[in-house]
């Protein structure tokens, strides 16, 4: 296994304290750009197209497209995250908001399935489900999420409605975490390059085990890619006796990674209409727990996209256990036997 020659640094190695003092990661749509989005939504509906037919070519954004190219470059080769602001969801139906969001997302990458049900447009909402059920995903509850990555290149969130309190988005640079761990404890740093069993939470592709084994840190072709879900690593230890047992050093390394992620993270409060996009390979994300409104129509609701850009970085072969095909533009997502790809406007 190849290891980084030392600290990585660069634009991707930021800290939350640094970013909290800046605003350059917030991109506000101009009136002309918003007019382009409105025109593209209207053209999509007038043509009678389905959401599955939305592409960068069909959702024309003559001036905004160039700016989104810059956003994609910042995601893949810069700090790894951006917040797009100014898209008015209050005057739109959920269908209109979804069409606009999908159209913008299509300029950043291809849509990928987010769960075994094949949802290409995800819904982050408390459905009142019991997290003790191994098939329940944490985003379907109001519980705090630990820092983790998703199974795709780019993760997008569009805020439709906010909670009564809480629910803040937290992100942290995994490159900065890598550099900090290397500096303070080379032993713990090295342990995170060991493959670790990770629970699939019941979303098992044909012929695969109910867990996969992959290192948290992966150094490949001169870039660090991070894939991590501590809670699913722990549940693999609890639920699958056949899975390799973690060593004391590995357990300590995961605990230190979690502690540093909380210490070095940036927290942002979404406004309705905000679109957050993060590069999954260099950003861990989480959410604080929240109290929701009692009225169903006011409850916290975010739309989610998993995207795969054609210009994505090369990923190591180990990622095929989780991503399937690791070809840029055609990788990531969750597909199991009988999965049917679909877009839905209702959380399920």
Q: Domain extents for the chain?
A: 16-322
* Cα(117)–Cα(176) distance, integer angstroms: 35
Of residues 136 and 222, more confidence is placed in 222
12-64 pLDDT, tens digit each:
999 999 999 999 999 999 999 999 999 999 999 999 999 999 999 999 999 99
- 266-268 and 169-173 strand pairing: antiparallel
* Cα(319)–Cα(214) distance, integer angstroms: 7
Give me the phi and psi of 177, to 5 degrees please.
-60, -45
273-285 pLDDT, tens digit each:
999 999 999 999 9
* C-beta neighbour count of 66 within 10 angstroms: 10
Segment 231-248 shows an average pLDDT of 96
User: Of 134-148, 153-167, 258-272, 320-334, which has the strongest mean pLDDT?
Assistant: 258-272
Q: Taking all residues of the chain, what is their mean pLDDT, rounded to a whole number? A: 92
186-209 pLDDT, tens digit each:
999 999 999 999 999 888 888 889
- Which secondary-structure segment (H or E) carries 44? helix 31-46
Residue 321 in contact with residue 128, Cβ under 8 Å? no
Does the pLDDT at position 228 exceed 60? Answer: yes
Residue 6, both tokens: 């030392």
Does the pLDDT at position 250 exceed 90? Answer: yes
pLDDT at 1: 79
pLDDT at 166: 65
pLDDT at 336: 79
* Among 34, 102, 110, residue whose Cα is nearest residue 67: 34
Q: Which of 5-19, 66-80, 114-128 has the lowest mean pLDDT?
A: 114-128
116-157 pLDDT, tens digit each:
888 999 998 865 554 455 554 555 555 558 999 999 999 999
Domain 16-322: give its CATH architecture. Answer: 4-Layer Sandwich (3.60)
Give me the phi and psi of 276, to 5 degrees please.
-105, 130
* Cα(147)–Cα(273) distance, integer angstroms: 24
* Cα(219)–Cα(7) distance, integer angstroms: 12
Segment 319-328 shows an average pLDDT of 92
Residue 270 in contact with residue 162, Cβ under 8 Å? yes
* Cα(210)–Cα(212) distance, integer angstroms: 7
Segment 216-222 shows an average pLDDT of 98
pLDDT at 278: 98
* Cα(67)–Cα(44) distance, integer angstroms: 21
Does the pLDDT at position 263 exceed 70? Answer: yes
Question: What whole-number percentage of the chain has pLDDT above 70?
Answer: 93
């Amino acid at each position: 296994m190849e290891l980084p020659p030392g600290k990585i640094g660069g634009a991707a190695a930021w800290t939350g304290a640094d970013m909290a003092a800046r605003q350059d990661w917030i991109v506000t749509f101009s009136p002309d750009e918003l007019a382009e989005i409105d025109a593209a939504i209207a053209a999509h509906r007038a043509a009678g197209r389905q959401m599955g037919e939305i592409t960068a070519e069909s959702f024309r954004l003559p001036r905004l497209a160039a700016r989104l190219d810059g956003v994609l470059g910042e995601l893949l080769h810069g700090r790894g995250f951006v917040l797009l602001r100014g898209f008015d969801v209050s005057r739109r139906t959920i269908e209109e908001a979804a069409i606009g969001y999908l159209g913008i997302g299509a300029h950043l990458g291809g849509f990928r399935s987010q769960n075994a049900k094949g949802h290409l447009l995800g819904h982050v909402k408390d459905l009142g489900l019991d997290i003790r059920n191994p098939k329940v995903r944490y985003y379907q509850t109001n519980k705090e999420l630990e820092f983790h990555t998703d199974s795709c290149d780019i993760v997008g969130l569009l805020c439709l409605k906010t909670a009564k309190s809480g629910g803040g988005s937290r992100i942290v640079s995994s490159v900065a975490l890598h550099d900090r761990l290397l500096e303070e404890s080379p032993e713990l740093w090295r342990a995170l390059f060991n493959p670790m069993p990770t629970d699939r939470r019941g979303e098992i592709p044909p012929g695969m085990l109910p867990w996969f084994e992959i290192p948290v840190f992966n150094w490949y072709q001169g870039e660090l890619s991070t894939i991590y879900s501590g809670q699913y690593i722990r549940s693999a230890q609890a639920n699958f006796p056949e899975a390799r047992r973690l060593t004391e050093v590995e357990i300590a390394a995961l605990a230190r990674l979690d502690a540093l992620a909380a210490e070095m993270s940036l927290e942002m409060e979404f406004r309705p209409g905000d679109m957050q996009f993060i590069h999954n390979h260099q950003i861990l994300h989480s959410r604080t727990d929240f109290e929701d409104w009692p009225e169903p129509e006011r409850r916290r609701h975010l739309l989610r996209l998993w995207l795969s850009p054609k210009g994505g970085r090369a990923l190591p072969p180990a990622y095929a256990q989780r991503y399937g095909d690791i070809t840029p533009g055609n990788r990531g997502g969750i597909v199991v036997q009988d999965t049917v790809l679909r877009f839905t406007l209702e959380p399920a």
